[in-house]
Amino acid sequence: MELRVGIVVCEANARRSCPGTSCFLAVKGKVGEFSQYGKVELVGFTTCGGCPVPKYNLEKVELLLNRGAEAIHFGNCVRDCPHLDNMEKEVEQTYPDLKVIVGTHPAGSGGLGWTNIKDKYKRVISKKTE
């Protein structure tokens, strides 16, 4: 059985330094929180919408649901978010049949992500203009 999942990550983290490499590799390799599934199809990847999030913006989850998501994973980067409990609770209350999981890849990336692939590709460093 195939499960269609969507991933919601921290807006600030995504803007600052994370293109989602570890999350994507976890889906592909069926590791971390994705090891609990048979076949996994990633239907989308989006951010939480940014802080402050006193009332979670469900539009982000709805984007994923409208693309077929049957489960929503909040990325590892959201685990330390002070708004996580509110976001998780609001999604679960609004969509009681939706599977909501906190976490994606193994802690510390478990060999996934930037530290694992950084030497495989030529580094691109932009020249800052003044």
CATH number at residue 47: 3.40.50
Contacts of 30 (CB under 8 A, 6+ apart): 37, 40
> Is 129 within a domain?
no
In a domain, 126, yes or no: no
Q: Per the domain annotation, does 125 fall within a domain?
A: no
Domain-located, residue 123: no
- The verdict on residue 96 lying in a domain is yes
| Banded model confidence at residue 108, pLDDT cuts 50, 70, 90 | low
What's the predicted TM-score (pTM) here?
0.84
Report yes or no on 9 lying in a domain.
yes
In tens, the pLDDT along 25-73 reads 889 888 889 999 999 999 999 999 888 765 667 888 999 999 999 999 9
**Is residue 75 in a domain?**
yes
Determine, yes or no, domain membership for 83: yes
What's the total number of domains in the chain? Answer: 1
DSSP-derived 3-state class of residue 10: coil
Burial class (CB in 10 A: 0-12, 13-18, 19+), 121: exposed
What domain range includes position 17? 2-117
Task: Spell out the alpha helix ranges (H) of the chain.
Answer: 11-16, 21-29, 59-65, 84-94, 114-117
Say how far apart CA 23 and CA 29 lie, in whole Å. Answer: 10
The counts of H helices and E strands in the chain are: 5, 4
